[in-house]
């Protein structure tokens, strides 16, 4: 499985058929292929988690009740996606924009027979919350948003009280820097001309910086504190397949020191980037200078073969009912990469 068309994770995330039983531990390979292909194959309880794509910045969680999936954005970049189970008929999960009101690692329902709600994050005072739970592949809760336990734990570690959570039933979402209004279908992202350059640092005067380069669009987008502050046409020499990323480790008298992050499981360690590698990228000189003035240690540059155009949203059909298998695993950095549980006509049980 891959996380390479990560920017198109959108609501293409669709549960397929009946998952195989007796699954073994499996990790996520994020270095080749298409995120659309991998996300389409997510089965109930599966998730992807790639926090290194945007190490810091404001976070936004978008839950889609139609697709039964959720996307986590940080600094405007999707860093994770998961299967969910929302409210069943008669207990529909409410649509709208919410904030996290309360967090508890251990919590039990005061309404439904003291049912456990691990890693609970409350969205309303009337009983709607994010928490770990069983994921049968369709809406099955009493209104809460159930998450895979591994994902619920990881999410709990990066959220804060007051963080925005959007619950929507719209089948599309922007691929970069979504806003709650756009996620709810109340706004339309602007289309950009492929040949023009934009630079508006005043839109976000401070904050972490992430840069996305799309070979398909021939364009780079600069995000600061989750807001787009600039973009320009970019030409990349040589073939571009899949997705890879760079991170700025430091700046000294010799200039910036970048590392190329290995996003594949079991791959080599991150390696220094030679100056020759940057010669593949051609952008207007004034844009290059402007970008050089805002990058800082921790800045990430993500290069993808896929399009970032908000005018080409990916549509996701409703998720079919299915049973679920369970995987769990960690990558070489010790991060959980994918985990899910099996429900076989009763209580979920751990298989891996």
Catalytic residues: 131, 144
CA atoms within 13 A on the CB side of 234: 28
Residues across the chain: 352
3 state SS of 181: helix
C-alpha distances in Å from residue 126, one per residue of 84, 97, 143, 159? 20, 15, 10, 21
3 state SS of 98: strand
3 state SS of 69: strand
Instruction: Report the candidate in 35, 70, 71, 77 with the shortest Cα–Cα distance to residue 56.
Output: 77
| CB neighbour list of residue 279: distance below 8 Å, 6 or more residues apart | 237
C-alpha distances in Å from residue 67, one per residue of 15, 172, 225? 8, 10, 28
Distance, in Å, from the CA atom of 208 to the CA atom of 219, rounded to the nearest integer, reads: 20
Distance, in Å, from the CA atom of 234 to the CA atom of 168, rounded to the nearest integer, reads: 34
3 state SS of 16: coil
Which DSSP string do the residues of 269-334 spell out, in sequence order?
Answer: PPEEPPHHHHTTEE--HHHHHHHHTT--TT-EEEEESS---TTSPPP-PPPPP--B---EEE-TTS
């Amino acid at each position: 499985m891959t996380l390479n068309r990560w920017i198109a994770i959108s609501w293409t995330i669709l549960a397929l058929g009946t998952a195989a039983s007796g699954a073994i531990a499996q990790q996520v390979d994020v270095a080749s292929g298409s995120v659309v292909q991998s996300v389409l194959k997510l089965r109930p309880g599966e998730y992807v988690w790639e926090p290194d794509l945007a190490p810091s910045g404001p976070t936004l969680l978008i839950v889609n009740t139609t697709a039964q999936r959720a996307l986590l954005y940080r600094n405007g970049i999707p860093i994770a996606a998961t299967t969910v189970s929302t409210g069943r008929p008669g207990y529909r999960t409410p649509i709208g924009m919410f904030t996290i009101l309360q967090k508890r690692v251990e919590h039990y329902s005061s309404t439904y027979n003291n049912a456990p709600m691990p890693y609970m994050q409350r969205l309303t005072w009337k009983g709607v919350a994010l928490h770990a739970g069983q994921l049968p592949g369709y809406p099955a809760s009493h209104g809460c948003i159930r998450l895979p336990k591994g994902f619920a734990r990881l999410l709990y570690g990066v959220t804060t009280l007051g963080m925005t959570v959007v619950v929507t039933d719209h089948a599309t979402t922007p691929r970069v820097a979504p806003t709650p209004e756009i996620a709810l279908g109340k706004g339309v992202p602007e289309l950009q001309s492929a040949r023009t350059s934009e630079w508006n640092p005043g839109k976000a005067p401070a904050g972490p910086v992430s840069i996305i380069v799309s070979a398909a669009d021939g364009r780079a987008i600069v995000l600061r504190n989750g807001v787009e502050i600039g973009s320009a046409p970019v030409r990349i020499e040589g073939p571009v397949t899949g997705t890879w990323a760079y991170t700025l480790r430091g700046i000294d008298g010799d200039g910036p020191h970048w590392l190329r992050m290995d996003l594949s499981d079991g791959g080599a360690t991150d390696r220094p980037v030679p100056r020759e590698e940057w010669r593949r990228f051609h952008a207007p000189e004034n844009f290059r200078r402007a970008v050089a003035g805002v990058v800082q240690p921790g800045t990430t540059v993500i290069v993808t073969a896929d399009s970032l155009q908000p005018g080409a949203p990916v549509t996701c059909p409703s998720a079919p009912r299915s049973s679920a298998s369970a995987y769990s695993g960690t990558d070489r950095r010790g991060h959980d990469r994918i985990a899910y549980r099996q429900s076989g006509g009763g209580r979920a049980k751990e298989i891996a």
